């Protein structure tokens, strides 16, 4: 009995050792497949970071650990070199090679990259505030269909300590001066505190902006505190406004897509089979056996844009056909043959088409 107990303990401790050697499973932490591309990693991180932030999970004693695991997982899987090393030999290996820069510290500035505002909305109403910046982000229909991350490199002014002091928190105060027996004077004067001096220094920062699937033209995303700084108060916000660029083949109306296809008169009459290349490159098969007249429109269910609120819902794709007539002249023989085949009596309906 004693021996068995002993064995069990040895086995258990072996298991523990193995686990710590292998390190954390970053794929599991981010809940992405091994084959996930960088966009998918960023997307998963961005979602989970909002969900798992310790400020939002004050009841969970493990919140901070979970958040740090998430940071480490993102740091490694979003970087091709680190990811390759990690895939080869795990987290321990990365640490040995000194490749864990941030040590997964989720509170390091590196996490400013997505413009998160983790501090909550503790903005004071009357504190001075820098201006908001509105930025138009021109995106293609392809990006709105599949989703993408856009990197914005900018010079962000950051406050840094400087030598000396400066006047701050200035306000008006009434002071009383004694001018002699029974005589006072009250005057108003500006009183300031002495604060450590600061200066604004430009730092090059990359902001990652997610173009989410199904976003619509004109949609705005607010990045709190990423706008213009204010030396005595809060920075303004950055507002990114989506501008959908026109597409050469598709027209979007809400979640539906429209496209035009020109077919030959021959195909229009005898039927055809073709494929329409979609925004992400997948092919939509189109087959017709019946006659297709100019202006005919078919609907491909679910081949439209993903809905922004619920990506599981998709619009439709409408294909309108145009028929190209042959330019060559027909012989008398061909004409007779065609007449026989089509067997269509003359219509010659004259009407006002307007
Ligand atoms: C399809 O053709 C119609 C008529 O010529 C045009 O108004 C429409 O913009 C075209 N659609 C696309 C997606 O090019
Ligand atoms: C979308 O579909 C997935 C899997 O089919 C499901 O887990 C998820 O809850 C759905 N999302 C919504 C918003 O319905």
Phi, psi (deg, nearest 5) at residue 85: -60, -45
Ligand 1 atom nearest the C-alpha of 260 is 1
Residue to probe by mutation, ligand 1, list 245, 260, 303, most atoms within 8 Å of CB: 260
pLDDT by residue for the chain (354 residues), tens digit each?
A: 555 554 444 454 444 444 445 688 999 999 998 888 888 888 888 888 888 888 888 888 888 888 888 888 988 998 888 898 898 888 888 888 777 765 545 554 444 456 665 544 444 456 778 889 899 999 999 999 999 998 888 887 777 888 888 888 888 888 888 888 888 888 888 888 888 888 888 888 888 888 999 999 999 988 877 888 887 777 888 899 999 999 999 999 999 999 999 999 999 999 999 999 999 999 999 999 999 999 999 999 999 999 998 888 999 999 999 999 999 899 999 999 998 998 887 778 888 877
Ligand 2 atom nearest the C-alpha of 312 is 1
For ligand 1, atom 2, name the residue with the nearest CA: 260
Ligand 2 site residues (CB inside 6 A) read 310, 312
Ligand 1 atom nearest the C-alpha of 258 is 13
User: Taking the alpha carbons of 245, 113, 65, 74 in that order, is the dihedral positive or negative?
Assistant: positive
For ligand 2, atom 5, name the residue with the nearest CA: 312
pTM: predicted TM-score of the whole model, two decimal places: 0.66
Fold exhibited by the domain 133-244: HSP40/DNAj peptide-binding domain (2.60.260)
Q: Which ligand is nearest to the CA of 250?
A: 1
For ligand 2, atom 7, name the residue with the nearest CA: 312
Ligand 1 atom nearest the C-alpha of 322 is 2
Q: In this predicted structure, what is the pLDDT of residue 17? A: 44
**Structural domain boundaries in the chain:** 23-114, 133-244, 251-342
Q: Which ligand is nearest to the CA of 309?
A: 2
- Counting other chains too, the contacts that 21-26 makes at CB distance below 8 Å and 24 or more residues apart are 21/90, 21/92, 22/90, 22/91, 22/92, 23/90, 23/91, 23/92, 23/94, 23/95, 24/69, 24/72, 24/73, 24/91, 26/72, 26/73, 26/76, 26/77, 26/86, 26/91
Q: In this predicted structure, what is the pLDDT of residue 120? A: 46
Q: Which residues pair with 242 in a beta bridge?
A: 137
CATH superfamily for domain 251-342: Urease metallochaperone UreE, N-terminal domain (2.60.260.20)
For the chain, strand residue ranges (E) read 133-139, 148-180, 183-211, 220-223, 238-244, 251-253, 256-264, 272-277, 283-288, 297-300, 317-324
Q: In this predicted structure, what is the pLDDT of residue 126? A: 65
Fold exhibited by the domain 23-114: Helix Hairpins (1.10.287)
For ligand 2, atom 2, name the residue with the nearest CA: 312
Say if 133-244 and 251-342 have the same CATH topology: yes
Q: Which residues pair with 175 in a beta bridge?
A: 187
Q: In this predicted structure, what is the pLDDT of residue 115? A: 60
Ligand 1 atom nearest the C-alpha of 248 is 14
CA of 324 to the centre of ligand 1 (A): 15
For ligand 1, atom 3, name the residue with the nearest CA: 260
Q: In this predicted structure, what is the pLDDT of residue 93? A: 81
For ligand 2, atom 1, name the residue with the nearest CA: 312
The 10 Å Cβ neighbour count of residue 66 is: 18
Cβ-based neighbours of 354, under 8 Å, separated by 6 or more: none
Ligand 1 site residues (CB inside 6 A) read 250-251, 258-260, 320
Residue to probe by mutation, ligand 1, list 248, 249, 251, 296, most atoms within 8 Å of CB: 251
Q: In this predicted structure, what is the pLDDT of residue 19? A: 46
Ligand 1 atom nearest the C-alpha of 251 is 13
CA distances in angstroms from 64 to 28, 68, 120, 165, listed in the order given:
17, 6, 16, 37
Contact 222, 119 (CB under 8 A): no
Q: In this predicted structure, what is the pLDDT of residue 38? A: 83
């Amino acid at each position: 009995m004693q021996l068995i107990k002993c064995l069990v303990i040895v086995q258990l401790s072996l298991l523990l050792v193995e686990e710590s050697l292998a390190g954390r499973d970053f794929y599991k932490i981010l809940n992405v497949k091994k084959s996930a591309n960088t966009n998918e990693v960023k997307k998963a991180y961005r979602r989970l970071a909002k969900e798992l932030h310790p400020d939002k999970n004050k009841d969970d004693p493990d919140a901070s650990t979970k958040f740090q695991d998430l940071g480490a997982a993102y740091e490694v899987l979003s970087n091709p070199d680190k990811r390759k090393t990690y895939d080869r030999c795990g987290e321990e290996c990365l640490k040995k090679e000194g490749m864990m820069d941030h040590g997964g510290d989720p509170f390091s500035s590196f996490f400013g990259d997505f413009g998160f505002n983790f501090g909550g909305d503790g903005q004071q109403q009357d504190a001075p505030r820098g201006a908001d910046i509105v930025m138009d982000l021109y995106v293609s229909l392809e990006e709105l269909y599949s989703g993408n991350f856009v990197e914005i490199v900018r010079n962000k002014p950051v406050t840094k300590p400087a030598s000396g002091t400066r006047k701050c928190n200035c306000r008006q105060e009434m002071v009383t001066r004694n001018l002699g027996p029974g005589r006072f004077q009250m005057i108003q004067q500006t009183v300031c505190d002495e604060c450590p001096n600061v200066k604004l220094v430009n730092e090059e920062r990359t902001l990652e902006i997610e173009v989410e699937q199904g976003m619509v033209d004109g949609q705005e995303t607010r990045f709190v505190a990423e706008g213009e700084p204010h030396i005595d108060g809060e920075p303004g916000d950055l507002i990114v406004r989506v501008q959908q660029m026109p597409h050469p083949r598709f027209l979007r109306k809400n979640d539906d897509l429209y496209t035009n296809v020109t077919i030959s008169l021959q195909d229009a009459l005898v039927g055809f089979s073709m494929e329409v290349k979609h925004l992400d490159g997948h092919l939509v098969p189109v087959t017709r056996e019946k006659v297709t007249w100019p202006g005919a429109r078919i609907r491909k269910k679910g081949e439209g844009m993903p809905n922004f609120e619920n990506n599981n819902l998709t619009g439709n794709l409408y294909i309108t056909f145009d028929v190209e007539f042959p330019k060559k002249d027909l012989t008398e023989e061909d004409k007779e043959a065609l007449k026989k085949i089509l067997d269509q009596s003359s219509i010659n309906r004259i009407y006002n088409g307007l």
